[in-house]
Amino acid sequence: MASIGIVGGTGYTGSELLRLLSAHPQVKVRVITSRADAGQRVADVLPMLRGRCDLVFQDPARAPLSDCDLVFFATPNGTAMAQAPALLEAGARVIDLAADFRIKDLSVWEHWYGLRHGAPALVDEAVYGLPEVNREAIRGARLVANPGCYPTAITLGLLPLLEADAIEPARIVADGKSGVSGAGRKATAGLLMAEVGESFKAYSVAGHRHEPEIEETLRLSTGRAVSLTFVPHLVPMVRGIEATIYAPRKRADVDLTALFDQRYRDEPCVDVMPAALPLETRSVRGTNLCRLSVMEPQGKGVVVVQSVIDNLVKGAAGQAVQNMNLMLGFPESTGLDAVALVP
């Protein structure tokens, strides 16, 4: 059994990691930390884990994380870059679910995240943890940067089109919608049910920090420079991301559905849907699937891609477990075969 540590176990992504790993047949969580709940039993703080986890939250400053085979950071931006170097030196592997190692251009990262990077020497080494792009590199990685939730949904929606040079890369629009859990577990007035319920709004319209992550990932993956207009929205649901992506069609000779079917035919965590079927976030709730559909409505020259994921699973903890499986040599989908929770 591989020994696993989790730094930051009481946020939504940390608790989702615990939920998934508690049923994983080849790993055992040995260490879990929380500053606020140090000394408390995990099952008392997270009652859904009663009978599944007998650990106690430890203070991260004293937890024996270096004894673990792999450590997840489910923490705010800036935490992993301070602690990962020592863990890597001790021989542990690291997966960061925050953004510390996602963007290779440090000047861009520092601009969008408002921090000076604390481990610049590790940025080039870190592998961007999107298995559908970097599977082989992830297998041999010491340090994996788990992608953001919007970048996962949007990148997977655009990859086949850009790889086939089927769309104009300079005129792409991505309209993203997310449930409130995407903002994390924090006491913020704008995330209260009374504020979010029966309402709908765009945010960060002038620029969102996931935009440069998406553009850089697509450029490095396809060799094509992309100009993306990305506008996220907050919708009154807990889990889920839906991205509707619009791009001018460049090649009329490409069968769009066949293109997506071929690109993702062997991908265990991507499901290409027939264009005639509706795509709903609830069809992936609780799963590590990205479901996609693609069409050119009414033959007007604009390709429309729809992409749905659970932001806490394929958009965070589930994708991290998928990366862990690759890094530790387990079958990629181990522990990730749940059926969606419907209704």
Return the CATH number at 63: 3.40.50.720
| Domain co-membership, 185 together with 112 | no
pLDDT at residue 246 greater than cutoff 80:
yes
Phi then psi for 294, rounded to 5 degrees? -145, 145
| Domain co-membership, 105 together with 24 | yes
Residue 105 lies in a domain: yes
Residue 297 lies in a domain: yes
Q: How sure is the predictor about 98, in pLDDT bands with cuts at 50, 70 and 90?
A: very high
Which has more confidence, 17 or 182?
Answer: 17
E strand segments, the chain: 2-7, 27-33, 70-73, 93-96, 127-128, 143-145, 172-178, 201-202, 228-234, 241-248, 270-272, 290-295, 302-309
Residue 289 lies in a domain: yes
Residue 131 lies in a domain: no
| Domain co-membership, 301 together with 160 | yes
53, 68, 149, 290: the catalytic one is 149
Q: What's the rounded mean pLDDT across residues 148-168?
A: 98
Residue 142 lies in a domain: no
| Domain co-membership, 195 together with 247 | yes
Give the tens place of pLDDT for each residue, 169-218: 999 999 999 999 888 777 677 777 788 889 999 999 999 999 999 999 99
Which tokens sit at 98?
A: 């925050």
| Domain co-membership, 207 together with 83 | no
pLDDT at residue 149 greater than cutoff 80:
yes
| Domain co-membership, 88 together with 208 | no
Work out the mean pLDDT of the chain and round it to a whole number: 96
Angle between helices 106-113 and 210-222 (to 10 degrees): 160
Q: Is 285 helix (H, G, I), strand (E, B) or coil?
A: coil
| Residue 149 annotated as catalytic | yes
Q: Which residues contact 168 (CB under 8 A, 6 or more apart)?
A: 247, 248, 249, 250
| Domain co-membership, 226 together with 270 | yes
> How far is it, in rounded angstroms, from Cα 8 to Cα 236?
26
| Domain co-membership, 158 together with 42 | no
Q: Which residues contact 194 (CB under 8 A, 6 or more apart)?
A: none
| Domain co-membership, 20 together with 162 | no
Residue 171's domain comprises 149-311
Closest CA to 230 of 159, 133, 154: 154
* pLDDT at site 95: 98
Tell me if the pTM is above 0.85.
Answer: yes
Percent over 90 (pLDDT), the chain: 94
| Domain co-membership, 119 together with 157 | no
CATH number, domain containing residue 187: 3.30.360.10
| Domain co-membership, 219 together with 300 | yes
* pLDDT at site 343: 86
Closest CA to 131 of 282, 284, 331: 331
Give the tens place of pLDDT for each residue, 33-58: 999 999 999 999 999 999 999 999 99
> How far is it, in rounded angstroms, from Cα 149 to Cα 234?
13
* pLDDT at site 190: 76
